């Protein structure tokens, strides 16, 4: 099981940080993500909303499983290539001085048929780097 945790404080109001990061288009700040958005029929972060992410060598469909704007949201990868056994991810937002502290945690494994431990050794640093790039993109977009 891989657990990834990234954190960053962004010098912007909590509501704006939440809105930016809950919009799947923000995931395109990661260099490997080519396209991201809500699946057909969904247009806002809410429980049950589906997000689709297309990247270099990967595809995800995520379901938002909990939304407590502007404090947190959770998601679960429900379909993907390569295959993931996802235990879920959560982004938590909290005030930090004049900004917002973001704590992003996710846990997953790859089934043996999908690459198992070997793929985890590749995907973990790529996902960690991608998450950090998304947080950096949010900071760049919102900080003055």
pTM greater than 0.85 (yes/no): yes
Structure tokens at 99: 């900004």
3-class DSSP state of 142: helix
Distances in Å between the Cα of 108 and the Cα atoms of 4, 5, 11, 92, 140 are 9, 12, 30, 18, 28
Nearest 5 degrees, angle CA 5-CA 8-CA 10?
150
Q: pLDDT tens digits for the chain (144 residues)?
A: 999 999 999 999 999 999 999 999 999 999 999 999 999 999 999 999 999 999 999 999 999 999 999 999 999 999 999 999 999 999 999 999 999 999 999 999 999 988 899 999 999 999 999 999 999 999 999 997
Q: What is the pLDDT of residue 114?
A: 84
Secondary-structure class of domain 2-142 per CATH: alpha beta
């Amino acid at each position: 099981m891989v657990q990834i945790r990234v954190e960053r404080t962004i010098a912007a109001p909590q509501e704006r940080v939440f809105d930016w990061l809950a919009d799947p288009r923000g995931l395109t700040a990661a260099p490997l993500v080519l396209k991201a958005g809500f699946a057909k029929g969904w247009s806002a972060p809410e429980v049950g909303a589906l997000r689709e992410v297309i990247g270099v060598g990967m595809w995800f469909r995520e379901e938002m499983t909990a939304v407590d704007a502007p404090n947190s949201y959770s998601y679960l990868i429900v379909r993907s290539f390569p295959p993931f056994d996802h235990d879920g991810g959560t982004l938590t937002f909290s005030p930090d001085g004049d900004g917002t502290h973001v704590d992003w945690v996710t846990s997953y494994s790859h089934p043996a048929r999908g690459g198992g431990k070997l793929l985890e050794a590749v995907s973990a640093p790529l996902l960690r780097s991608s998450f950090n790039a998304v947080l950096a993109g949010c900071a760049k977009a919102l900080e003055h």
